[in-house]
Structure 1
Amino acid sequence: MPELPEVETVVRSLEKHLSGLTITDVDLIKEEVIRLPRTENFMEQIIGRKFQKKLGRRGKYLLIHLTEGLTLVVHLRMTGRLVYCAAEYPMEKHTHVIFHLDNGKHLRFADVRRFGRISLVPTPEVDHFPGIKDMGPEPLDEEFSREYLKKEFRRKRTRIKPLLLDQSFVAGLGNIYVDEALHRAKIHPERLAPNLTTREAANLHKSIVEVISEGILHRGTSFRDYVDGEGRTGSFQNHLRVYNREGLPCFNCGKPIERIKVAGRSSYYCPSCQKAK
């Protein structure tokens, strides 16, 4: 699933193309992709709307702001793609929605597994949208501080890996970047959050900020499905230290990376650098 760096990259890559363009028509090939409102209302409300200058993001949600106080809330889920392209560009097999633009281009939503969803909501209601309303702080915002982690760790009697995946605790983190941050901080994914020391909490905060920033710098991680808003892959997969590297040597100590299941999710870690304690 695209995580914060991937979604942020999609936002930045689309923003420079969509500003000021008008949606002239929409092809709904798979109507179930539209979560809200009803299909006929969606079509009636969105045609003729212009894209605002700035797009947005909250956690893993894309926020595409339109004129007249409307926002497209898009969640890519596992395999969704939102790509700006020429109208004559070959159609992907699993394209479900095509937004026709007044410059002759398309904005296309494709999704192999069909889990992604698009909603059109009044902009003032975005903060109350299900999935967004209870979201925790953004990793790169001031609210996500060392003090926040220390305080919350004391209150959460749970393992650190599933806690960091909890979107109500911190927004936008997923399996890839949590594994990478835990490795950098030398924390085992099954450690209990309240048992982390003050120093470990500080190191983890630093590692989360670093890995998210680097993920954005390298335009996200591409293994199979993820591309940005221009159809380009990211390159952070070339800089991963543990994720998807089972059996390969740790860059720190040379020991083989291992994979275990934590809360039903594959977790990659170094048993030497990240001791269970």
Structure 2
Amino acid sequence: MPELPEVRTVAVFLNKRIVNTTILKAECFFEKMIWRNEVKDFYKSVLNQKILKVSNYGKYLMFELSNQIIISHLRMEGKWSISKKEIDIYNANHLRLQFELSNGEYLKYYDSRKFGTIEIWDKKNYKQKSGMDKLGPEPLNSQPSFEYLKEKAIKSNSLIKAFILDQSVLCGIGNIYANEILFAAGINPERITKTLTDEELKKIIMFSNAILEKAISLKGTSIHSYKSGDGETGQFQHELKVHLRKDEKCFVCGTKILKKQVAGRGTYFCAKCQH
């Protein structure tokens, strides 16, 4: 958490607010978060660069500058906001990085757990240098193709829950949406991936697209602390069918929703509906 819909929501918000502004100054208050870069070099790299675009790929938020790309991985608790210097939308004690912008506002990064990372690379080779070239396709816009997913699946002895959480297979799905996708597809999370039928693989593609697109339209799922860049909560939590519903009745069959650890993650499912 945040997963693809939440990071996409943040990217859309920031893209509307900071495109074409210039970074006048950068201040980092937790240097370990500047990953694979020296802090002094990071400061030099961003100084006087214009922000051309904010986007995301899967769980990664990307700031396209004049010459480089900043990649932000929010991990568990990372949050970006726009405000005046003296205003903190989130807890000021959790402020880890801020950019002074040419429009008089400040782009601020908060992270209570300090797990998030920030890195900067040249545009020409950032995918290879950052490892983003190893990521699989985002499950949106009818992606991935059935042929792609089947080729990956028939070679996999992993549990299907672990398979769809693997970012080198599908980029952007985390625990919440994995639980929801497998329920919608009627697939038990402990199935061995290579045992899935063609029809079941097609259902994973279809429901991955449908669920992520709906979550994006509702600005993500606010569980625990996620909020968008302006402090707004998402609304997809009201659409959850199994996640966090342990011992509640399944909306389809009335059986109690179970919870167990699968692939190291808290997994919610209906034993009757998911085979």
Mark yes or no: TM-score above 0.5: yes
Q: Give the structure 1 partner of residue 64 of structure 2.
A: 65
Query: In the TM superposition, what are the counterparts of 1:77-96 in structure 2 within 5 Å?
Result: 77-90=75-88, 92-96=92-96
Q: What is the CA–CA distance in structure 1 between the aligned matches of 2:65 and 2:225, rounded to whole Å? A: 27
Moved more, 250-259 or 137-146: 137-146
Task: Indicate if the aligned counterparts of 1:98 and 1:109 stay in contact, CA closer than 8 A.
Answer: yes
Q: What is the CA–CA distance in structure 1 between the aligned matches of 2:116 and 2:75, rounded to whole Å? A: 5
Shift of 1:164: 0.5
Task: Indicate if the aligned counterparts of 1:7 and 1:57 stay in contact, CA closer than 8 A.
Answer: yes
Q: Give the structure 1 partner of residue 130 of structure 2.
A: 130
Task: Indicate if the aligned counterparts of 1:55 and 1:63 stay in contact, CA closer than 8 A.
Answer: yes
Identity of aligned residues (%): 36
Task: Indicate if the aligned counterparts of 1:36 and 1:121 stay in contact, CA closer than 8 A.
Answer: no
1:82 partner letter: W
Q: Give the structure 1 partner of residue 273 of structure 2.
A: 273
Task: Indicate if the aligned counterparts of 1:14 and 1:230 stay in contact, CA closer than 8 A.
Answer: no
Q: Deviations over 1:73-117 (max 9, x none)?
A: 100011111111232313522111111111111111110110101
Shift of 1:142: 5.2
Shift of 1:190: 0.3
Q: What is the CA–CA distance in structure 2 between the aligned matches of 1:231 and 1:66, rounded to whole Å? A: 25
* 1:115 equivalenced with 2:115 (yes/no): yes
Shift of 1:8: 0.7
1:80 partner letter: G
Query: In the TM superposition, what are the counterparts of 1:20-169 in structure 2 within 5 Å?
Result: 20-52=20-52, 54-67=53-66, 69-90=67-88, 92-141=92-141, 143-169=143-169
Q: What is the CA–CA distance in structure 2 between the aligned matches of 1:60 and 1:271, rounded to whole Å? A: 30
Shift of 1:274: 0.8
Task: Indicate if the aligned counterparts of 2:242 and 2:250 stay in contact, CA closer than 8 A.
Answer: yes
Shift of 1:270: 0.7
Q: What is the CA–CA distance in structure 2 between the aligned matches of 1:29 and 1:251, rounded to whole Å? A: 47
Tell me the TM-score normalized by structure 1. Answer: 0.95
Q: What is the CA–CA distance in structure 2 between the aligned matches of 1:55 and 1:254, rounded to whole Å? A: 44
Q: What is the CA–CA distance in structure 2 between the aligned matches of 1:98 and 1:33, rounded to whole Å? A: 13
Shift of 1:30: 1.2
Task: Indicate if the aligned counterparts of 1:139 and 1:170 stay in contact, CA closer than 8 A.
Answer: yes
2:12 partner letter: R
Q: What is the CA–CA distance in structure 2 between the aligned matches of 1:194 and 1:141, rounded to whole Å? A: 25
Moved more, 145-154 or 169-178: 145-154
2:185 partner letter: A
2:139 partner letter: P
Aligned pair count?
273
Query: In the TM superposition, what are the counterparts of 1:177-216 in structure 2 within 5 Å?
Result: 177-216=177-216
CA RMSD of aligned residues (A): 1.3
Q: What is the CA–CA distance in structure 2 between the aligned matches of 1:51 and 1:63, rounded to whole Å? A: 10
Unaligned runs of 5+ in 1: none
TM-aligned CA distance change 1:158 to 1:36, over 3 Å? closer
Q: What is the CA–CA distance in structure 2 between the aligned matches of 1:221 and 1:189, rounded to whole Å? A: 21
1:85 partner letter: S
Tell me the TM-score normalized by structure 2. Answer: 0.95
After TM superposition, what 4+ stretches of structure 1 lie above 4 angstroms from structure 2? none
TM-aligned CA distance change 1:56 to 1:126, over 3 Å? farther
Q: What is the CA–CA distance in structure 2 between the aligned matches of 1:46 and 1:198, rounded to whole Å? A: 48
